[in-house]
Chain A
Amino acid sequence: MARFLLTLGVVVVFVLEGTVMQVFSPDAWGLSWLTVPRFALVCCIFISMYLGRREGLYYGIAFGFLQDVLFGQLIGIYTMSMMVASYFAGMIVLLFQRGFGMVFITSFLILFGHEWLLYSLFRLFSAAPFDVRWILTHQILPSVLFNLAFGLLVYFPIKNVCNKILAKKEMHMQ
Chain B
Amino acid sequence: MSFFGNKRLIIVLVGLVLLISVVGFTSRERVSLTWPEMFFKDTFSVVQGFFYRPAQAVSGFFQEIEEAYGVYEENKALKASLDQYARLSAELHTLKADNDRLREMVGAKDSLKSYNLHFAEVVARNPDTWNNVVTIDQGLKSGIKKDMAVITAKGMVGRIQSVANFSATVELLTSYERRDHISADILTEQIVDGKPMYRQVSGVIEEYDAQKRLLVMRKIPWGQAIKKDQQVISSGLGGVVPRNLPIGYIVRVEPDDYGLTQTAYIQPSADFSQLNEVMVVERDFTIGPNGELIPQQPAGQTQKTVPPAPPASGGGQ
Contact = CB atoms under 8 A, between A and B. Distances in A.
B44 A122 contact: no
Contact of B48 (A19, A25, A28, A30): A19
Contacts of A36: 127-129
A70 B40 contact: yes
Nearest to B130: A122
A18 interface: yes
B56 interface: yes
A23 B40 contact: no
A23 B48 contact: no
Nearest to B21: A76
A106 interface: no
A22 B125 contact: yes
Interface string B174-190: 00110000000000000
Nearest to A130: B176
B56 A23 contact: yes
A22 B40 contact: no
Contacts, number: 108
A74 B27 contact: yes
Contacts of A22: 52, 55-56, 125, 127
Contacts of B44: 15, 66, 70
Nearest to A126: B177
A133 B274 CA distance: 27
Given A19-B124, A22-B55, A79-B19, A73 B273 contact: no
Given A16-B51, A76-B26, A130-B176, A25 B127 contact: yes
B30 A73 contact: yes
Given A80-B19, A118-B130, A128-B176, A73 B161 contact: yes
Contact of A76 (B19, B162, B274): B19
Top-10 shortest CB links A-B = A76-B23, A71-B126, A19-B51, A19-B52, A18-B124, A23-B59, A20-B55, A28-B273, A75-B26, A72-B131
Interface of B: 19-20, 22-23, 26-27, 29-30, 33, 36-37, 40-41, 44, 47-48, 51-52, 55-56, 58-59, 123-131, 133, 135, 161-162, 169, 176-177, 207, 210-211, 273-274
